[in-house]
């Protein structure tokens, strides 16, 4: 490592156990903290990145639903769900030397990578908690449109066959 880089940024690395999208545990070195962010910040960044990517995937699944990302993310950051995900990842890292989630977005016990955002998003985007969070942050007309499309979706799928 470049000495001036190390002196300036003071990187601290972790080789904690992680979990991959192909359902395997492994150890791999990653940056845990430096002068610009702490381990707590790393946990927060991981939770928020997973949530943002999940929200993008949700929009892909429900393109007819118009919502403001910032409004939903702000609501998420104030929610018990956010606190639970942060605490879950933090305690796994501190107490078990494991950098992965052991709950999903509905807080069911399930292991998910904290670092493979697209895979996690493909699973978390179907969460009931996510639907509720998004629908709580859109106007009444958007909610009605969402439920109308959800009711019609199985009918349209059957009619296509």
Q: Is the pLDDT of residue 11 over 50?
A: yes
Query: Confidence class of residue 2 from pLDDT cuts 50, 70 and 90?
Result: confident
Residues whose CB is less than 8 angstroms from the CB of residue 121 and which lie 6 or more positions away in sequence, other chains included: 50, 53, 54, 56, 57
Confidence (pLDDT) at 161: 46
Q: Is the pLDDT of residue 159 over 50?
A: no
Q: Is the pLDDT of residue 61 over 90?
A: yes
Tokens of 129: 């908690």
- The stretch 36-43 carries a mean pLDDT of 96
The answer to whether 84 and 103 are in contact (CB under 8 A) is: yes
Average pLDDT, the chain: 92
Helices 39-61, 117-124: axis angle to 10 degrees equals 50
- Percentage helix, strand, coil for the chain under 3-state DSSP, each rounded to 5: 55, 15, 25
Confidence (pLDDT) at 37: 95
Q: Where are the domains of the chain?
A: 11-159
- pTM for the whole structure: 0.89
Confidence (pLDDT) at 149: 82
- The stretch 20-28 carries a mean pLDDT of 94
> What tens digit of pLDDT does each residue of 108-155 get?
999 999 999 999 999 999 999 999 999 999 999 999 988 888 877 655
Query: Confidence class of residue 1 from pLDDT cuts 50, 70 and 90?
Result: low
Residue percentage of the chain with pLDDT more than 70: 93
Confidence (pLDDT) at 23: 94
């Amino acid at each position: 490592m470049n000495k001036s880089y190390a002196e300036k940024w003071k990187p601290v690395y972790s080789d904690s156990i992680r979990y991959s999208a192909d359902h395997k545990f492994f150890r791999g070195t990653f940056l845990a903290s430096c002068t610009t962010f702490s381990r707590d910040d790393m946990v927060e960044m991981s939770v928020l990145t997973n949530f943002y990517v999940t929200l993008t995937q949700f929009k892909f699944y429900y393109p007819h639903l118009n919502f403001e990302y910032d409004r939903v993310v702000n609501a998420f950051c104030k929610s018990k769900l956010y606190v639970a995900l942060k605490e879950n990842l933090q305690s796994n890292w501190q107490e078990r030397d494991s950098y992965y989630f052991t709950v999903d977005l509905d807080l069911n016990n399930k292991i998910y990578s904290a670092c493979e955002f697209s895979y996690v998003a493909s699973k978390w985007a179907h969460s009931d908690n996510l639907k509720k969070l998004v629908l709580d942050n859109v106007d009444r007309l958007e909610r009605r449109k969402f439920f109308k499309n959800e009711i019609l979706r199985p009918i349209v799928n059957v009619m296509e066959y």
